[in-house]
Amino acid sequence: MNMMSYRMVGCLIGLMLLSSGCATNHGTRIDNIPMYGQPKLERPEFLKKADEDFIKQASGGFGSREAASKAWHAQAEKFMSEGNVDYAMRRYNQSWLLNPNNYQPYWGFARVVAEQDKLDDAIEFLEKAKRLCDDNFQKVALVADAGTIYSYKADSIAKDNLNERVRYFTLANQNFIESTTLDPKYSDSWLRWSQSLFREGKYAEAWEKLKKARSFGAKESDIYLKKLEGKMPEPK
C-alpha cells in the first residue's frame, strides 16, 4: 500500500474514533464496548454512515475487508501488549466492523472482558471465535485460552455448588485436550492445564501436566511452584 493510502486510512481512523466516541447512559464510550454494544444498542444513523465510509476507505486501502480486518486486529494486539486496553478495544471493534466473520476480534473481545472479570461474556466470545477460526496454528492458543477461562469460571463458583464447578472444569479439560491434540508440543497449553488442574484440586495430575510442559521448554513461575508443592510434593 502506498504512502497516500496509509495517510488516507490514518485519517479515517481519526474520523472513526471521533464519530464513535459517544458515551452510553453509563458514561462508557460506545467504542469501548464489544461490537459497539450491538445488537442491544441501536447504532445511530450518523455512526452507520461513518461506519460505511470507514469500511469503504479501509478496505480500499488494504485491498479487501478481510485484509483490513487483520491489519486492525494487529494494531489492537499491539495496544493490548502495551496495556492500553481502551485503544485495543477500539481497534478490535474496527476489525470486527470490517469483517464480522473474522475470529480474531472476538478473541480480542474475550481478552478484554476477561480482564474486567466478565467471564461469561469472555466464554461467549471465545466460543464464537472457535467456531469461526480457520487457522489450526492459531487455534491451539485460542482453545487454550478457552480452557483457561472455563477454569477461572469454575473456580469462581461456590464450593458447595459442586455440579456447576464440575461442569465448568470438565469444559476446561475438554478444551485443553483439544489444544494439546492440535499441537502436542505447545508448552503453554500443558502449563495452563496444570494450573487449571491445581484449581480443580487434582494435584497429582497438575504435576503430570507441569512435567509435560517442562519437557517442551515451559518455565513455571516460582509462585505457582510453591503453591503446588504446598499441596503435594513433586513426585519422583
Is residue 155 over pLDDT 90? yes
Write the pLDDT tens digit of every residue in 204-232: 999 999 999 999 999 999 999 999 999 99
Amino acid at 200: E
Q: Which three cell numbers stand for residue 48?
A: 452507520
Is residue 12 over pLDDT 70? no
Q: Which three cell numbers stand for residue 198?
A: 491445581
Closest CA to 218 of 158, 144, 165: 144
Distance CA 107, CA 101 (A): 12
Instruction: Considering only residues 29 and 21, tell me which one the structure prediction assigns the higher pLDDT.
Output: 29
What percentage of residues in the chain have a pLDDT greater than 90? 83
Task: Please tell me the class of the 137-236 domain.
Answer: mainly alpha
Asked if residues 193 and 214 have their Cβ atoms less than 8 Å apart, the reply is: no
| Chain centroid, CA 144 distance in Å | 10
Give CA angle at 78 (77, 79), nearest 5°.
90
Distance CA 171, CA 180 (A): 14
Give the pLDDT mean for 120-149: 98
Position 17 scores a pLDDT of 43
Which of 43-47, 63-67, 100-104 is predicted with the least confidence, judged by mean pLDDT? 43-47
pTM, whole model, 2 decimals? 0.87
What percentage of residues in the chain have a pLDDT greater than 70? 88
Position 182 scores a pLDDT of 97
Q: In the structure, what pLDDT confidence band is assigned to residue 26 with cuts at 50, 70 and 90?
A: low
Q: How far is CA 143 from CA 10, 31, 177, 186, 199, in A?
A: 33, 26, 9, 12, 18
